[in-house]
Amino acid sequence: MAQQHLDPTDPTAEVVNGDALAAYLCAQATEFLRALRLHRETGGTTAGGAEESVDAARLLRRSARRISGSLHTFRPLLDPDWSEEMRPELAWLSGTLGLEHAYEARLERLLLALHRLSGATVVPAQAVDVVPAGGRAAGAARVGAAALGAAGPASPAPERGNLTVGAAKAGALLERQLTLARTRAHSTALQALGSSRFHAVADKVAVLASEVPLTPTAPTTDLRPLAAAAEERLTDAIGALPLVTAGHPYNAEALVHGLSPDPSPHPQDGPWHQVRLLLRLHRYAQEVLRGGSTPVDVGLLAAGQALNRHRDASEAAAAAAQAARTPRIAPATAYALGVLHADQRHEVEAARFAFQQAWQKQTVSAP
């Protein structure tokens, strides 16, 4: 499908109607079921299977997000009762499956930063055994193993040999806290995958793979105004961001309130997180219009990556601040956590700058 077909104001463009939406949803539902099968096949194995299990969970979340996003953007074309029941379940699933990986990535980010701040060179930790594996029966047995693995050699963290005492203690504290959170998330994910709630979602997705509950008028309804509305919501939200400030390097905005008594998350990050979600919805809508193929729009990709980095750094900074509130820590540990927090807040600022640059290019290069 050529570029001009995507402009909803172009009267010569081909109409993209509800059939395209149905095809997209069917395809994503099929992907979901394939990921689920892969997950069940690889989940029971150990070591070698762990990586495949990670991929399976990632694919499950990937298709769940796309189905959920399309249900939102193209709501008027779908049976409202079904749609409204489906979306929160998909969000629950995607969120539950993503938490364990998020904690692991956060820990890795913080340990790498501690090494960077100590002037040490590090080989980043490999992602191992990140995601809940196995079905109901295997699950309970693996919780203990994962907890062990996270703290043991199965999940190698960057070495702390070169860290100073404060940085080393800060690293150990963060590892303890985030590993605990990760273990809990792992356990929750296992429970979720074994729950009747999950089976109900999986059943619904299985039905979706063969039959999409479109409204009677959907097959002749043009999708493009709805996709355009999604894009407009995105550009409106971007327009409300402080992009002029963000475009000035070293504006020191992200660390304002860095010592405010209000705990994380920073309220100033909210609008950026929101844009991240709207950008994703826009991308999925474009996929629907393009018959399922991912738009290779380098600017959009760069903007999205900057917002992912923004989110990651924001949450890492909050984790460092949170760890500093642990009772009875040594002053040197608290100092290192303060440096680390500020470092990650500057990553937040750097990510905003990167987004501003990417978006500027995007709007300049757009027709």
Binding residues for its own copies, rule: CB under 8 A, are 114, 116-119, 163-167, 249-250, 252, 255-261, 324, 329-343, 346-347, 349-350, 353
List b or e across 60-75, with b for residues whose CB sees 16 or more CB atoms inside 10 angstroms: bbebbbbbbbbbbbbe
Whichever of 196 and 328 has its CB closer to its own copies, that residue is 328
* Residue 122 beta carbon to its own copies: minimum distance, rounded to whole angstroms: 12
Is residue 43 within 8 A of residue 138, CB to CB? The reply is yes
Distance of closest approach, residue 107 Cβ to its own copies, in angstroms? 17
Q: Indicate the residue among 196 and 260 with the shorter CB distance to its own copies.
A: 260
| Distance separating alpha carbons of residues 218 and 80, to the nearest angstrom | 12
Closer residue to its own copies, CB minimum distance, 28 or 333: 333
Cβ distance to its own copies smaller for residue 31 or 347: 347
Least CB distance to its own copies at residue 253 (A) = 10
Q: How far is the CB of 13 from its own copies (least distance, A)?
A: 40
Nearest one of 175, 184, 62 to 125, comparing CA atoms: 175
- Tell the residue number behind the tokens 């029971």, with chain if given: 44
Q: Closest approach of Cβ 206 to its own copies, in Å? A: 47
**Are the C-beta atoms of residues 274 and 237 closer than 8 Å to each other?**
yes
Q: How far is the CB of 352 from its own copies (least distance, A)?
A: 10
Residues 108/319, Cβ–Cβ less than 8 Å: no
Q: What distance in Å separates the CA atoms of residue 245 and residue 341, rounded to the nearest whole number?
A: 21
Nearer to its own copies (CB atom), residue 93 or residue 336: 336
Cα–Cα distance measured from residue 96 to residue 103, given in angstroms and rounded to the nearest whole number: 12
CB closer to its own copies out of 178 and 255: 255
| Closer Cβ to its own copies, 7 or 159, answer by number | 159
- The 8-class DSSP code of residue 265 comes to S
Q: Which two tokens stand for residue 313?
A: 């750094």
**CB closer to its own copies, 279 vs 339:** 339
The answer to whether the beta carbons of residues 326 and 173 sit under 8 Å apart is yes
Beta-bridge mates of residue 17: 222
Task: Report which secondary-structure segment, H or E, holds 332.
Answer: helix 331-365
Phi, psi of 214 (to 5 degrees): -75, 155
Of 39, 43, 182, nearest in space to 100 by CA: 182
* CA angle 169–337–274, rounded 5-degree value: 135
Cβ at position 361, least distance to its own copies in Å: 15
Nearest distance from C-beta of residue 280 to its own copies, angstroms: 24
